[in-house]
Amino acid sequence: MKKFRPQPGFVVQAFRFALDPSASQEAALRSHCGAARAAYNWAVGWVEASWWQRKAEESYGIPEAGLTEWRPWSLPSLRKAFNVVKHTDPRFAAWWEDNSKEAYSTGLANASTAFDNYAKSQQGKRRGGRMGAPRFKSKRKARLSCRFTTGAIRVDVDGRHATLPRLGTIRTHEPTVKLLSRVRAGTARILSATVRHERGRWFVSFQAEVKRDLERVARPDMAVGIDLGVKNLAVLADSTGEIRTVANPGHYDRARGQLRRASRVVSRRRGPDRRTGQRPSRRWEKANARRNKVHHRVTNLREDTLHKLTTAVAAEYGTVVVEDLNVAGMLRNRRLARRIADAGLGEIRRQLTYKTRQRHATTVITANRWYPSSKTCSGCGAVKAKLPLHVRTYACDACHLVIDRDDNAARNLAALAAACTTGTGVAGDQDTTPVVSKPRGADRRTRATRPRRKAEAGRAGGTTLPQQQQEETRDRPQAEALTLW
């Protein structure tokens, strides 16, 4: 399947609306999502059957030329094979006509993508950790989702209903005016729709090709550095030195009392037990629904906070400097993991990236992960060798500047924007070549020795880096710590 490319001046944007389906419509939605899961499991089993057959034949000493052929996993091949067996396979013959063909196509497309990702991962062509082979989806754990690409896909003229193939017209929980007005004006064209059940209710997401005119930011010649953290969600320092602090609302911490009480009620009810086949009681299901409602509210509040923050920043500044945080590594700290996950640090950078590109065409600069923004003095540029996390005030030994740790880091990030600019304004040099810096000789390799052993080696007379190289690294220009997106 070819990737869709929008026309010049158009962007692909998703419009998501909550649904209020009737009982029969909800049963149809679950049936379509179950059909997608069944088609996915069939495709995984059909492809892997040839793998196991070849492995068994090899154990009997059959030569390579006589082994069973590999079954292809491309989407056209899976569709062709599924159309042959759906009339005779007892898993589909009795009910496959009850759902739209798009439901089965969704599962087959997901299986094809999963096998492609697995093959690229084994060949080293895919970023990230190694992926395993696709596995069957559990009926109990699989996320309910189905995608429609053909048929009657539209938002109705009354602005309160959406029409989907085989599902008919479903009432939306909120008005669809923001998409309907664009469709009527001819500035948007619906490409597909995806229904999904999450956070206790059904949602429909319309993928549309939208004509979007870039909006001018309020201060195009101004750069801002954003230091993200746990105590304060974000500290913003612009190029004039003005500092603004966005407090961390801590939605999860505020709701912990409610969750504790709700979880206590759930634990006192008769819940499910897969080992004995025990089914949950109605009282357990009601109590579990009340507990999940608290979780869903926390998630919605967190999303609302992050969207408001990133939208305001993207609409005000011409250049935004953020950090490349190792959030996955930070989550390994058992003392801070809960608060780091509640803050959503990685989501802030993701939202800033697409909002600045698609809505305002401004520049996002990502400071290298190894850049010492907190250890560098924003006044004179001196770098401390160590700055423990519990030290919240930065005191410079050279110029005697005393400043809050987060404010100092935000100022340093804002100063980095000058390294990627021309002589006339901010965010002018789009061709800046990023150079990976190694402050104080640090590298990306994980050392096998523990810090205690390093200290013992230093006391024994060894040093980790010559003094001359430390001085050269400390005086290295800050432009080497940038990555331009």
How far apart, in whole angstroms, are the C-alpha atoms of residue 438 and residue 459? Answer: 24
The reply to whether 227 belongs to the active site is: yes
How far apart, in whole angstroms, are the C-alpha atoms of residue 374 and residue 408? Answer: 6
Contact 163, 204 (CB under 8 A): no
Please identify which of the residues 238, 316, 342, 406 carries the catalytic annotation. Answer: 406
H/E stretch holding 168 reads strand 168-171
Tokens 């008005």 locate to: 175
DSSP sequence for 173-234? SS--HHHHHHHHHTSEEEEEEEEEEETTEEEEEEEEEEE-PPPPPSEEEEEEEEEE-SSEEE
How far apart, in whole angstroms, are the C-alpha atoms of residue 254 and residue 242? Answer: 30
User: Helix, strand, or coil here: 445?
Assistant: coil
26: buried, middle or exposed (CB in 10 Å: 19+, 13-18, 0-12)?
Answer: middle
Question: Cβ–Cβ contacts within 10 Å for residue 465, how many?
Answer: 11
How far apart, in whole angstroms, are the C-alpha atoms of residue 305 and residue 287? Answer: 28
Please identify which of the residues 227, 238, 316, 342 carries the catalytic annotation. Answer: 227
Q: In sequence order, what are the residues at sequence separation of 6 or more whose Cβ sits closer than 8 angstroms to the Cβ of residue 104?
A: 35, 36, 38, 39, 82, 86, 96
364: buried, middle or exposed (CB in 10 Å: 19+, 13-18, 0-12)?
Answer: buried
Please calculate the CA angle 218-219-225 and round it to the nearest 5 degrees: 120
The reply to whether 213 belongs to the active site is: no
In the sheet that holds 145-148, the strands lie side by side as: 10-18, 201-211, 188-198, 145-148
The reply to whether 303 belongs to the active site is: no
Please identify which of the residues 102, 316, 323, 342 carries the catalytic annotation. Answer: 323
308: buried, middle or exposed (CB in 10 Å: 19+, 13-18, 0-12)?
Answer: exposed
H/E stretch holding 247 reads strand 243-247
H/E stretch holding 367 reads strand 363-367
Strands 482-484 and 232-238: unpaired
Contact 389, 339 (CB under 8 A): no
**Catalytic residue numbers, as ranges:** 227, 323, 406
